[in-house]
Chain A
Amino acid sequence: MSASALAIELAWWQQTVLRSVGMLVAVLIPAGTLVYVFLFKMMSFMQSRLGPMEAGPYGSMQLLAEVGKWIQKEDIVPWRADRRLFAMAPYIVVASVFLVLAAVPFGPDAWFTNLDVGIFYVLAVASISVIGILIAGWSSANKYSLLGGLRAAGQLIAYELPMVLAVVGVVIQAGTLNLQQIVAAQHEGEIFGIGAIGNPFIFTQLIGFFIFVVAMQAELAQAPFDMPIAESELVSGYMTEYSGMRFLLFFIAEFATAGAFAAVAATLFLGGWAVPGLPLDAGYMNVVGPIVVLVKIMLVAFLVFWVRFTYPRFREDQLQQLAWKILIPLSLVNILATMALKVAF
């Protein structure tokens, strides 16, 4: 959070502490909410069962119990594993989530960094997790981990492209890379002369949104794209040898990344923290904004997890074909159409 939001001057270390706490909140609150609402409850209801019910009312404390359990467990490192890399890998994956969320705005002053090349930076640091996953797969000294790591690398690189190309459409339309200004462009824009709800780019960039969500699903390795985890053939992919705290880090990273990507999708396509009809620079938007973003995160994540709990896994070649033969040409056509329409109007 920037200091001006609080209207008091803070020392640099105080700002740093506030920012660190805010970052932890921004990473852990969406991740925990996603796990409880979607993984525990929505999945159970879709399978006509109740899910966790014992820890707290309706099992709401289940996640705390799980975290307590994982922290207590022994941290096992395989004998032939490359110890230093093995220990480092989960931190690299988690770090990429923190770096992504650092650029996402939550209000007029509620941001961690306000980069001019915001979305470019987000897409760049989101790819760092691939390195962590590849390191985890390689250093585990396990054939399942290695295969999982390689599959993850192949998949994440393949789906990075449609994701970037889908974002280009939004960038062309907004005319800026800065996430704050993309939010403003959606707030102030109008469709067919009607400006009552602004112009969330999901209306004009529907294809882009579709491609972004599919690519996001693949980046998160959620169900139809869970070849890297593929528990029926690869045990647990690159996470096979991890236990205790380090497994917990991978688990948090998975759902925090879901939250971070959903936040980026909400900012790019759903209008971000802005509420139609409310002024953009009002002070109270610093409080309302994060809540609006959380609601929009839940909307996007609902799509992702709904698809996850419905479809079975793609085969590796089908998965690559979907990326290279369908999504990338489609997103290129989308860019061309956006360019043409931008020039025409």
Chain B
Amino acid sequence: MPPAPKVPGLVKGLGVTLKTMGRTMFPARGIKTLIPAPSKGAATVQYPHEKETPAPRARGVIALKEENCTVCMLCARSCPDWCIYIEGHKETAPPRRPGGKPRTVNKLDRFDIDYALCMYCGICVEVCPFDALFWSPEYEYSELRLADLLHDKERLGEWMQAVPDFEPYEAGSEQKVRKVPR
């Protein structure tokens, strides 16, 4: 024989649902309490009509700072579902100081992220040693065609505008706050 159900708990449960319904339907206080206004009382928003601002560190879309990328391929190799496509070539650049040797630099030809495959794990952002990948809270980039979800490096660069500054760590932290390259 299982333990007998606790009746007061069952009644309490009914009270919780009823109270939530009352709070949703009649959110106002005072004399206006009697006017039902569920659209104010609900915890949700009606998305296409009104929008919530996402949290500053929300993982909406990955932005690319093209100048910082050295085509090291770390992000492409660490991506669990191989949705980053990178191509590059070497160029010679003038020496930093007069009289020095000309340098070889890697130039980015192609940097695509296929958001149809991306699972937003953020490993590429974590692994990037040169501050070229950032999380941006933008989330409205759905497309009618699957192929349009492949963002090229220009599109990924546009997301940089929405990248917020890193927030300071909690008091007493030794960690230096990183800066977002603008």
Contact = CB atoms under 8 A, between A and B. Distances in A.
B110 interface: no
B103 to A, nearest CB: 59
Interface stretch (B36-44, B148-156, B167-175): B36-44
B2 A311 contact: no
B14 A48 contact: no
Contacts of B46: 50, 53
B23 interface: yes
27 contacts: A44-B24, A44-B42, A45-B20, A45-B21, A45-B38, A45-B42, A46-B17, A46-B20, A46-B21, A47-B20, A48-B20, A48-B23, A48-B24, A48-B42, A48-B43, A48-B44, A49-B43, A50-B38, A50-B46, A53-B46, A307-B14, A310-B13, A310-B14, A310-B17, A317-B2, A318-B2, A321-B1
A49 B42 contact: yes
B144 interface: no
Band of interface residues on A: 10 to 19
Interface string B119-145: 000000000000000000000000000
A336 to B, nearest CB: 23
A50 B16 CA distance: 18
A53 B38 CA distance: 11
Contacts of A306: 14, 17-18
A249 to B, nearest CB: 30
Nearest to B15: A310
B10 to A, nearest CB: 7
B118 interface: no
Interface in B29-85: 38-39, 41-44, 46
A227 interface: no
A326 to B, nearest CB: 10
Chain B facing A: main interface SS: helix
Given A50-B46, A53-B46, A311 B25 contact: no
Nearest to B13: A310
Nearest to B39: A50
Nearest to B4: A326
A318 B18 CA distance: 26
A198 B123 CA distance: 73
Nearest to A317: B2
A50 B46 CA distance: 8
Contacts of B42: 44-45, 48-50
Contacts of B1: 321
Contacts of B24: 44-46, 48-49
A321 B2 CA distance: 10
B50 to A, nearest CB: 12
A49 B18 CA distance: 14
Interface string A287-331: 000000000000000000011011100000110010000000000
Given A48-B41, A53-B46, A42 B13 contact: no
Given A50-B39, A50-B42, A53-B46, A45 B25 contact: yes
A45 B41 CA distance: 9
A311 to B, nearest CB: 6
Contacts of A318: 2
Interface in A21-75: 42, 44-50, 53
B38 A310 contact: no
B44 A311 contact: no
Contacts of A46: 17-18, 20-21, 24
B4 to A, nearest CB: 10
Contacts of B10: 311
A10 B52 CA distance: 62
Contacts of B16: 310
What are the 4 A-B residue pairs with the smallest beta carbon separation, nearest first?
A45-B24, A48-B43, A45-B21, A46-B17
Contacts of B14: 306-307, 310
Contacts of B17: 46, 306, 309-310
